[in-house]
C-alpha cells in the first residue's frame, strides 16, 4: 500500500502489507467463521434447479397444447355438424309459431297481417286465400274468438349445410277462447282441458319447415303431428 506523497517533496513511504506466517492469522483481518467445504444456505449447487424448471416448462406447454387442440376440435365440430346452430333459429321459430296461431277478433286485420308476415312460398299463398273475406275469419268474429299457441319447447331435427333451411319440432298447447268455449267440456280421453278462464287448451305437436327469406327465418310448411 502506498501512502499519499508528502507535500514537502520527500520520497514516498511504502508500507508493506504484513504477510501471515504459516499457521498464524493477520491482525485486523476478519477470519471466516464457516467450516471449510460448506456453502451458505443461499448458495445452490450449480445446475441443481435447472431440471425442475425444465419440467415445469414442459408441463405448461403440454397444457397449452391440449387447450388449443380442444378449441380447434370444437370449431371443427361446429363447422362439420350443421345440427349445431345458435339460438337465433330457435328464437325465431318460437315467435313465428306464436304469430301464426295468434288471433284476436278485436283486431282481425292486424292478426292476419302478423300471420302472413312469418310465412313464405306456397304456404303464404294458401293462408292468404283461407283468411280472406267469407272464410274462417268471419266465423271467428261471429263467436268473438281469440286463439294462441303456447310454446313449451322447440327442437331441431335437421339443418342443411348452408344453414338457411331447417326442420323443427315444436311442442305446445293450442288455446281457443270464444263465446261458447267454456260451455263445452273437453272430450274424454283427449289431451284437451278447459281452463279457469273458460278457454279450451289442447296439446299439439308441430313439425315446421323453415327457410331464410331475405335474412329472416320464415315458415314454409306446417305439419300437425299430434292433436287432441
pLDDT tens string 112-125: 999 999 999 999 99
The enclosing domain of 171 has a CATH number of 3.10.450.230
* Average pLDDT, rounded, for the chain: 77
Residue 57 lies in a domain: no
Tally the domains of the chain.
1
Q: In this structure, is residue 80 part of a structural domain? A: no
Q: And the C-alpha cell for 226?
A: 299430434
Cβ neighbourhood burial of 54 (10 Å; 0-12, 13-18, 19+)? exposed
The model carries a pTM of 0.62
Domain hosting residue 153, numbered range: 87-226
Each residue of 22-32: b (16+ CB within 10 Å) or e? eeeeeeeeeee
Please check whether residue 214 lies inside any domain of the structure: yes
CA separation for the pair 102, 114 (Å, rounded): 8
Residue 200 in any domain: the answer is: yes
Domain assignment of residue 37, yes or no:
no
Quote the CA–CA distance of 151 and 98 in Å, as a whole number. Answer: 7
**Cell numbers at 70, concatenated:** 380442444
Chain mean position to CA 196: 39
Assign residue 9 a region (left: φ > 0; alpha: ψ between -120 and 50; beta: otherwise): left
Is the residue at 62 inside a domain? no
Q: What is the pLDDT of residues 180-218, one digit of tens each?
A: 877 777 777 678 898 888 899 999 999 999 999 999 999
Look at strands 146-159 and 216-226 and give their pairing.
unpaired
Amino acid at each position: 500500500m502506498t501512502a499519499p506523497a508528502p507535500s514537502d517533496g520527500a520520497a514516498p513511504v511504502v508500507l508493506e502489507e504484513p504477510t501471515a506466517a504459516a499457521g498464524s492469522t493477520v491482525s485486523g483481518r476478519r477470519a471466516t467463521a464457516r467450516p471449510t467445504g460448506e456453502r451458505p444456505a443461499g448458495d445452490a449447487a450449480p445446475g441443481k434447479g435447472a431440471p425442475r424448471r425444465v419440467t415445469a416448462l414442459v408441463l405448461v406447454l403440454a397444457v397449452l397444447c391440449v387447450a388449443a387442440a380442444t378449441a380447434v376440435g370444437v370449431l371443427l365440430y361446429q363447422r362439420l355438424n350443421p345440427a349445431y346452430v345458435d339460438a337465433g333459429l330457435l328464437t325465431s321459430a318460437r315467435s313465428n309459431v306464436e304469430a301464426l296461431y295468434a288471433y284476436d277478433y278485436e283486431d282481425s286485420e292486424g292478426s292476419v297481417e302478423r300471420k302472413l308476415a312469418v310465412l313464405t312460398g306456397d304456404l303464404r299463398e294458401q293462408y292468404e286465400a283461407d283468411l280472406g273475406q267469407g272464410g274462417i275469419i268471419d266465423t271467428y268474429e261471429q263467436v268473438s274468438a281469440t286463439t294462441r299457441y303456447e310454446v313449451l319447447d322447440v327442437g331441431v331435427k335437421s339443418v342443411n349445410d348452408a344453414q338457411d333451411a331447417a326442420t323443427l319440432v315444436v311442442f305446445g298447447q293450442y288455446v281457443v277462447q270464444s263465446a261458447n268455449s267454456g260451455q263445452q267440456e273437453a272430450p274424454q280421453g283427449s289431451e284437451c282441458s278447459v281452463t279457469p278462464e273458460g278457454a279450451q287448451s289442447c296439446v299439439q305437436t308441430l313439425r315446421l319447415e323453415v327457410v331464410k327469406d331475405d335474412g329472416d327465418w320464415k315458415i314454409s310448411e306446417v305439419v300437425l303431428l299430434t292433436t287432441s
